[in-house]
Every structure is written in structure tokens, then in C-alpha cells.
Amino acid sequence: MKLQDARILLTGGSLGIGRETAKVLVAAGARVVITGRDAARLRKAAGTTGAFAVVADVGNPDDIERTYQQAMDHLGGLDCLINNAGIGTFQELQAVTLDEFERTFRVNVYGPALMAARAVSIFKKQRSHGSIVNIGSTAALKGFPGGTVYGASKFALRGMTECWQTELRKHNIRVMLINPSEVATAFFDGKEHEAAPNKLSTAEIAHVIKSVLEMDDRGLIPELAVWATNPW
């Protein structure tokens, strides 16, 4: 897709991969709407990236409805959805609770599905190409100790992505999954971190997202894993 004047909705745009991706896409000429739960942090990100901010929680269906109302009012249409918002919880199996499952799946699974459903409706109504990029994790490729809840949510996102790819190709809608490994982000503590020499940077993941979007609409990269060479 051509990024110049492309209309893009990106969830989880306050910090980390989301904010850096918004910055890169705006610099390429795209019109970008970002969402996030923290109003002050989101508006700061909008100011530094040039994106338009919508304060919203993807885990809340009412917020999703409002997100699309405000995004469509601002953009006038939609060419791409980037499902980037996500949370993580990591505990051994004996400590897992239903509340943690529900909280994590609401943001990492249910939210992306509902966001994508609305995007697809818009793409079909526009009778044009559309793109959905899901930001997953290499945690969806192999289990790990303490990953019961988070890993399950990312495995679920990966499974949904494969279903959408099969379902939507005939409508010229591309669905792509990016699986980063160890990235220096604000994921765990809400604070920005410089990329350690052995970890990926948010800029590198943003570059990957931009690159897969820039492929001509006749083709897509179904899934791409980005591994830190030696994170240990």
C-alpha cells in the first residue's frame, strides 16, 4: 500500500512500539490515529508523532465504538488497522487466576478481534483494499515458564490471524502478523528504556511494520518473526 495519505488506526500508541510506529508512519505521509488508556501520556505521544489521539481501552467494547466514531470523523475512511495494544502477566501455573486470564484476554484477544471486525466492515463498504497488522510475540511460537496466560493470549491472536487470512483474502484484505522477541519497551513498568546491545529497539520493529505495509496490495507477508540475535 502507498503510505502517502494512507488512513491508519493504531492501538496502544502511547509508548514503545506503538508510538515509534506512529512516528515512522506519519513521517512517511500517513494520517494516523492512535489510542491508549492514559490520556496525558497519549496526548504527549500525539504531540511528538503528529498522530491524532483517541483516549480509549481496547478491552472495553464501548470504547471501541467511540474509537471508530472519532477515527472515522478525523480520517474520513480507513486503509489500515494496526492491533498493537497489549498487556502481560507472568506467573507460574499454581498462581494463575481467572481474573488474570480475563483481564489479559480482554486486551490481547477480544479487543483485537472486535477492532478487526469493525475495520473489515469499513473495508468492505469502501470496496477497496484494506490491511490489518496484528502485533503478536515470539511467545506465540513456543511456550515458556510463567507464560500460561500471556502465551495463551498470543497463541490465540496467532490463530485468529490465520483464520482471518483465509476468510478475507477474497475481499482483497491483507492480514499480517508481526512477532517481536525481546524488545526494550515500556511493556512491564510503563517507563521507556533504551535498547540494550542484545535487545531489539522499538525503532527496528516500527521499520518492520512499515516495510510489510509498503508491499504492493497484490501481496502480503502472512507472518514475520523478529528475533534478537542473542538476548542472553
Cite the active site residues: 150
Q: Is 228 helix (H, G, I), strand (E, B) or coil?
A: coil
Residue type, 123: F
Calpha distance 220→116 (Å, rounded): 17
CA 107-111-116 angle, to 5 degrees, is: 145
Dig out the grid coordinates for 97 from the structure.
Answer: 487466576
Residue 74 contacts by C-beta under 8 Å, 6 or more apart in sequence? 31, 33, 52
| Max Cα–Cα distance, the chain, nearest Å | 50
> Rg of the chain's alpha carbons, rounded to an integer?
17
CB 173 within 8 A of CB 120: yes
CB atoms within 10 A of CB 88: 17
